[in-house]
Amino acid sequence: MSDKTAATIEPATPDEVRLRVAPSPTGDPHVGTAYMAMFDLAFARQQGGKFVLRIEDTDRARFQADSEQQIFDTLEWLGLTWDEGPDKGGPYAPYRQSERLDTYKPYVQKLLDEGKAYYCYCTSERLAEMREFQQKQKLPTGYDRMCYGKTREERSKEPGFSDNPVVRMFVPDDAPLTFTDLIRGEVKAPRPDDQVILKADGFPTYHLAVVVDDHEMAITHVVRGEEWISSTPKHILLYQGLGLEPPKFAHMPLLRDEKKAKISKRKSPWARLTWFKEQGYLPEALLNFLALLGYPPVIETDGSEREVFTFEEFSKNFEWSKVNTVGPIFNLDKLNWLNGHYIRELPTREFATRLLPFLVKDGVLSEQPSLPELGRLNLVAEQIQTRINLLSEATALVAPFFCKDDELPIADDARSQLKETAPQVIDAAIEALEPISGSLGKPDGSDVEWTHERIEAALREAIVEGLGIKPKFAFGPLRTAVSGQRISPPLFESMEILGKHSTMERLKALRATL
C-alpha cells in the first residue's frame, strides 16, 4: 500500500459531535428516515455539532433516479436541515456512496493482506444449494467457508466456481458480540457469519461502506433502528480489523403499525414521508408526533405532562437515556389531533398561506390568485380554521366561495336531506334578506348592513319565529343553497363573505329546482 493509502486509514480525531442520516434512494423516502434524522439533529444541535446527510446508493438494482431529490425535499420541508451533504458539499465530500468507490478499495485490500477477508468464488447456484442443505439438515445458516484459504486456481477445480469473486470478511471464533448502546446499555448480538463486504460488480455492501464512510466522515454517533443490532458486531469487527475507533451506537425502537408489525411502504401509505405532505400535515406537528413515539412528553414544574412541544425544546432537553426502547405504535388518530392543534395555533394569514398549495392543486385557485381572491381566502380561512385537522380537508369548504353562482354543484347528500319545508324556508329567507342593503356603506364601514349579525337576526325572525321551525332544522336548506354541501363553514358568516348578490342568486337557484 502507498503512503497515501495508509494515511487514509488512520483513525479520525474529530473535535466535535458529528451525526449522520444515510437513506437509500430506492423510492419514496421512508418516514423512518425523518424519525432517525430528527434524533440525530436534536443531539447535534444540543452539542453544537454537525449533522450530515449521506446518500447510500450502492444498491443499484433498487435505485430510483428521482428518489434523492425527494429525500432532499421532504427533509427540508420538515426543517431537518443538514450541514453537509451531496447538495451542500463539505470537508468530507463526496457524500454519495456511488461517487466514493475508489475510497473503499484500500480498506478491502488491507483486510485481504492481513487475512481478515478473503475472496469467495462461489456461484449463486452453489450458495442456494448450500442454504437448502443447511435448512434441511437444520444446521446453522451461513457461509460454509468453502473458499477460505484457497487460491483462485485451487477453487477453480471444484464445483460452483465463478470467475467474478466477491470479498467476504473473516469472522474469528472470538469475535466481539457485546457492545454498549447509548439507549439500551450493554447489548449482546448473535454471532455473524462471513458476510460479503465487496460485491462482484466492485460496489461495497452496506456493511463495509457504512464503516468506511462513518470513519472517513468522522461520525461520532451512529443512530439507527434496532433491526441493525445484529449487524453491529460485524461493524465493530471491521473497525477493529482496520485499526479504527468505532463510533458510539444508539439503536432506536422500530416504528410499528396497528398490528404491531414493522411499518412498510408496501402495507402502509403513511410509511411514505411524502404522504404526510400530500395529506396536509404540518411539519411541526409531524416532528412533535415522531418525537413522542420515541421520547416522553415534557414534564412541567407541577409534575404534569405536556405533549405539545417545539423541536427546539426537544433538542435542548434531549437525553439518550430517556428514549423508549419499546417499539411504539403509529397512531394516526393522535397525529391528527396534534395536527389540528397546530393548525388552530397558526395566525390566520399564515394558515391561509399554507392552504394555497392544496387549493391550487385542486383547481380552486390559480397559481397566481388576485389580491381580492387572497383577501376573500383570509376571511374564509378564519371561519374554517377550527373545523379541519388536515390542510387537504379545506378544499371542500373553501371551493364554494370561489365558484360562479350558476355553477355551484349541489352535493347529493345535501339535496337528499332537504325536507318538504325547504321551499317555504328559502322563500322566507329571500323575503327577509331582500331589504338588507348589500352596499359597503361609508369608507370606515360604519353603516355596513350586510353583516353576519344582521343576516342572522333577520333569518331567525323570519324562519324560527315566523315559520315556527326549530333552529336545528331551520337553516339546512340555506346552507345547501349557499355552499352546495351538507356541512359548511358558519352559515351567516359565509353569506357575509359571499355578499348579498351571490347569496340571493344561490338561494333563488336552489329554490327553482324544488
465-476 average pLDDT score: 89
- What are 507's three cell numbers? 338561494
Q: C-alpha grid cell for residue 264?
A: 412498510
Position 441 pLDDT exceeds 50: no
- Over residues 280-296, the mean pLDDT reads 95
- 258 pLDDT exceeds 90? no
- In the set 234, 265, 277, 500, the catalytic residue is 265
Please give, one letter per residue, the 3-state secondary structure of 90-159: CCCCCCEHHHCHHHHHHHHHHHHHCCCEEEEEECHHHHHHHHHHHHHCCCCCCCCCCCCCCCHHHHHCCC
What average pLDDT does the segment 149-170 reach? 96
pLDDT at 455 over 80: yes
At CA 287, angle to CA 301 and CA 361, rounded to 5? 140
Contact predicate 150/198, CB 8 Å: no
The span from the CA of 231 to the CA of 80, in Å, is: 27
- Does 5 score more than 80 pLDDT? no
265 tagged catalytic: yes
Q: Is the pLDDT of residue 461 over 60?
A: yes
Q: What's at 244, amino acid-wise? A: L
Q: Higher model confidence: residue 198 or residue 98?
A: 198
Beta bridge partners of 181: 185, 249
Sign of CA dihedral 13, 16, 17, 23: negative
Non-local (6+) Cβ contacts of 416 within 8 A are none
Residue 438's pLDDT is: 76
Q: What count of other Cβ atoms lies within 10 Å of the Cβ of residue 445? A: 9
Does residue 440 register a pLDDT over 70?
A: no
Comparing 24-28, 47-51, 356-360, 376-380, which segment has the lowest mean pLDDT?
24-28
Whether the Cβ atoms of residue 270 and residue 31 lie closer than 8 Å to each other: yes
Three cell numbers, residue 462: 323570519
Q: What angle do CA 314, 69, 51 make, to 5 degrees?
A: 35
- What is the number of residues in the chain? 514
From the CA atom positions of the chain, what is the Rg in Å?
32
308-329 mean pLDDT: 92
SS3 state of residue 234: helix
| Cell matching residue 210 | 457504512
Q: Measuring CA to CA, which residue among 10, 9, 92, 3 is closest to residue 51?
A: 92
Digit-coded pLDDT (tens) for 370-426? 999 999 999 999 999 999 999 999 999 999 999 999 999 999 999 999 999 999 999
511 Cβ neighbours under 8 A, 6+ residues apart: 423, 426, 427, 430, 481
CA–CA dist 131, 335 (Å, integer): 44
Please state whether 142 falls in left (phi above 0), alpha (psi between -120 and 50) or beta. left
Beta bridge partners of residue 338, listed in sequence order: none
Check residues 80 and 470 and name the one with the higher pLDDT.
80
State the average pLDDT over residues 129-153: 94
Count of beta carbons in the 10 Å neighbourhood of residue 111: 22
Q: Write the pLDDT tens digit of every residue in 201-226.
A: 888 898 999 999 999 999 999 999 99
Query: What's the pLDDT band for 60 if we cut at 50, 70, 90?
Result: confident
Q: Given this model, what pLDDT does residue 14 score? A: 61
The residues, any chain, with a CB within 8 Å of residue 405's CB and separated by 6 or more, are 502, 505, 506, 509
336: closest CA among 379, 279, 298, 255?
279
**CB 274 within 8 Å of CB 29:** yes
- Grid coordinates of 350: 399564515
Give the residue-averaged pLDDT of 58-82. 88
| Position 1 pLDDT exceeds 50 | no
Residue 10 confidence (pLDDT) above 60: no
Query: Which residue do the cell numbers 468453502 mark?
Result: 146
Could you tell me which residues are beta bridge partners of residue 122? Answer: 161
Residue-averaged pLDDT of the chain: 91
Q: Which three cell numbers stand for residue 260?
A: 404491531
459 close to 478: Cβ distance less than 8 angstroms: yes
What CA–CA distance (Å, rounded) separates 341 from 329?
A: 21
Q: Are 506 and 482 in contact (CB under 8 A)?
A: yes
Residue 82: is its pLDDT beyond 80?
yes
pLDDT of residue 326: 86
Q: Please give the pLDDT value at position 443.
A: 47
Q: Is 322 annotated as a binding residue?
A: no
**pLDDT over 70, % of the chain:** 95
Q: Tell me which residue of 201, 203, 199, 213 sits closest to 95, measured CA to CA.
A: 213
Q: In this predicted structure, which of 59-63, 215-219, 290-294, 376-380 has the lowest mean pLDDT?
A: 59-63
Mean pLDDT of 139-160: 95
Tell me how crowded residue 429 is: count the other CB atoms within 10 A of its CB.
26
The torsion angles phi and psi of 451, rounded to 5 degrees, stand at -120, 160
CA distances from residue 61 to 19, 50, 425, 442, 465 in whole angstroms, order as listed: 28, 31, 66, 70, 73
Band of pLDDT at residue 327, cut at 50, 70 and 90: confident
CB burial of residue 177 (10 Å; 0-12, 13-18, 19+)? middle
Q: What structural domains and CATH numbers belong to the chain?
A: 3-252 (3.40.50.620), 405-514 (1.10.10.350)
At residue 12, does pLDDT exceed 70? no
CA angle 426, 427, 431 (to 5 degrees): 115
Side chain identity at residue 367, one-letter code: E
Angle at 236 between CA 230 and CA 240, to 5 degrees: 155
Listed in order, strand segments (DSSP E) in 272-341 are 298-299, 305-306
Residues 53 and 95: beta-carbon distance below 8 Å: yes
- Look at residue 460 and give its three-state secondary structure: helix
